[in-house]
Amino acid sequence: MSTTDHDDVLRGDAPPAAETAEPADAAPDDWERLVAQVEDWIADDPDPVTADELTRLLRTARQTPEPGATEPLADLVRTDADAARADLADRFSGLLQFGTAGLRGALGGGPHRMNRAVVIRAAAGLADFLLGELEGASPAPRVVVGYDARHNSHRFALDTAAVMTAVGIEVLLLPRPLPTPVLASAVLRFDADAGVMVTASHNPPQDNGYKVYLGGRIVTDAGRGAQIVPPADAAIASEIAHVPSAASVPRAASGWTVLGEDVVEEYARRAAAVAPGGDPAARSRLKVVLTPLHGVGGALTQDVLRRAGFGDVTLVAEQAEPDPDFPTVAFPNPEEPGATDLALALASSLRADLVVAVDPDADRCAVAVLDPRAHVPAVGPQTPQADGWRMLTGDEVGGLLGADAAHRARAARSTAGTRPTLASSIVSSRLLAAVAADAGLHFTPTLTGFKWLSRVDGLVFGYEEALGYCVDPAHVRDKDGISAAVRVCDLAARLAAQGRTLVDALDDLARAHGLHATGQVSARFTDLSRIGATMAALRERPPTHLAGSPVVEVVDLAAGTEDDRGGLPPTDGLRLLTADGTRVVVRPSGTEPKVKAYLEVIVPVARDADRAAVDAAHTTARARLDELAADVRAALGLDGG
């Protein structure tokens, strides 16, 4: 499959549709129906690359062995035809679903893939939604469009601009491939009614996606400038479903505005200022290794850190430039094993203080530190892990940044007269709630996803365990890996000036609130029906004990929740709590064919505990998490795998 951009083509002539022939072993009605769908799509496809791809697939699906062919050759032909038919059936299993994550899927031809035809329909549906919401209003809707460096991102952004301009919508296009936080900030800066970011974030290289933000006159409350939530997602999806074809959608050849570099400059200036003050000498001494994992965040993150006073920032050369094939990583997600190995190795050789990794669209941030507890004996060549380098969990970074945000908010509150709010998702650690209570601040739990976190009223900091942090909600109503990196580096520099580290700060949080240790159990399914069956079985027969403690509360999140911190909308999930405070939240993944269980144990730590006592608490927590994980796997029917 080719995913080459065709930026010089607005309308491509599709190749002629393939002739129809029925495979001998196919059900006639099903096969004829599929062939008709494929041929109709090919005729409507504006991209000759994906049209040709489907034509070749259809030709392969139709082939039968030549008369007199040897059996091995005949088997090969039949195998290829079966694979092609299965591929076509999947590509035409329905229109790629538009939801609260917008669109995301594998690149390729067909309605169940990311391609120009799907994007054109999506842009037309979004345009119809905006025009309907603002019917009769003046001026016309304004939309900001951004894109990253993935395959076809620029082409999809141009198609979006062309579709919206054709119906009178004002379109502002970012000047080049840029991180998602730049787009999110531009939605607020330009008071746009909507924003579109073409990116698949940390997905594999064969994927792309389409995030939608609403603001301006469409959303005017605390969610202004955030990603879409119900009922807007369903309303946009309904408009998309009414678009009859890509060919029916008018597209302008010009008329949109390509923004200048000042939009990047404004973002960089604000991101660098999220940690004002600080000791310039301490910041200049902090030695940081940075990797953007082949994404678009490398140069901008380095520039923002330098503006903030962190001059000793070394980019991982092999991963510094945008590359849509992500050649050095199996999966461009800093949470995945191996993704940050090059950065850790460089940090070890440079004797760095900190490793920062941003994901390909730079909306998430991962941090690695030297931790004496993580030291493991070297087997063979010396490794960063043998030196004691380890990645902090999202909950650990969230706790550190949350405590820092609480300190900043207390100072601001004395003059502003407001009571700020910290927020985290229901699958994240409860540590942030304890930090907020100790600081006299509000705390709000939300459903997973920054579409919920970023619209919390009074928000000063929000995070979720999947490495997402919102440290500057006034300017970026979404997670932002770049501004989070500035806050992390600022905290590390301040601690270093005292002869301390982020690990010491984590120990302080354990002394103040108990050691909150978190982990995950997940199961990937090829048969998607097993996801619902697994959740149903857990609801019918929840475990009575977890890690040796009796289960005292089972909450079905599908019914929604109400408590003294406010209610949550219904979501597919189950929350279990034991007598000793152990908590498990089980839910289907929103982006992958998985069921995930989020685990948390809390081990008491005395406020005056010495290092040895804190070390002992970590050992206890690790053992309890291991026992809890085994019990959860059994409860989910995952014994032995």
pLDDT at 1: 35
For residue 277, the Cα-to-chain-centroid distance in whole angstroms is 31
Nearest to 469 by CA among 420, 557, 404: 404
pLDDT in tens, 385-398: 667 899 999 999 99
**Phi and psi angles of residue 198, each rounded to the nearest 5 degrees, phi first:** -90, 105
- Largest pairwise CA distance in the chain: 89
Question: 201: phi > 0 → left, psi -120 to 50 → alpha, else beta; which?
Answer: left
Give the model's confidence band at 23: pLDDT under 50 very low, under 70 low, under 90 confident, else very high: very low
> What is the pTM assigned to this prediction?
0.91
Nearest to 143 by CA among 196, 179, 101, 188: 196
pLDDT at 383: 67
Tokens representing 209 are: 């996606």
Q: Please tell me the total number of residues recorded for the chain in this structure.
A: 641
Q: Please check the confidence at residue 10 and state whether its pLDDT lies above 50.
A: no
pLDDT at 52: 98
pLDDT at 506: 98
Question: 449: phi > 0 → left, psi -120 to 50 → alpha, else beta; which?
Answer: left
Q: Please check the confidence at residue 626 and state whether its pLDDT lies above 60.
A: yes
Locus of tokens 């003050």: 277
Give the model's confidence band at 604: pLDDT under 50 very low, under 70 low, under 90 confident, else very high: very high
**Catalytic annotation present for 201:** yes
Q: Please check the confidence at residue 16 and state whether its pLDDT lies above 50.
A: no
Burial 605-636 (b: 16+ CB within 10 A, else e): beeebeeeebeebbebbeebbebbbebbbebb
Q: Please check the confidence at residue 363 and state whether its pLDDT lies above 50.
A: yes
pLDDT at 594: 85
Domains within the chain, CATH numbers bracketed: 28-91 (no CATH), 103-260 (3.40.120.10), 262-512 (3.40.120.10), 514-635 (3.30.310)
**Phi and psi angles of residue 6, each rounded to the nearest 5 degrees, phi first:** -120, 70
- Catalytic member of 153, 185, 201, 424: 201
Average pLDDT over residues 236-263: 97
Helix (H, G, I), strand (E, B) or coil at 499: coil
Contact (CB, 8 A) for 298 and 315: yes
Q: Give CA separation, 377 vs 341, 387, 389, 588, in Å.
A: 17, 8, 12, 38
pLDDT in tens, 480-537: 999 999 999 999 999 999 999 999 999 999 999 999 999 999 888 888 888 999 999 9
pLDDT in tens, 293-316: 999 999 999 999 999 999 999 999
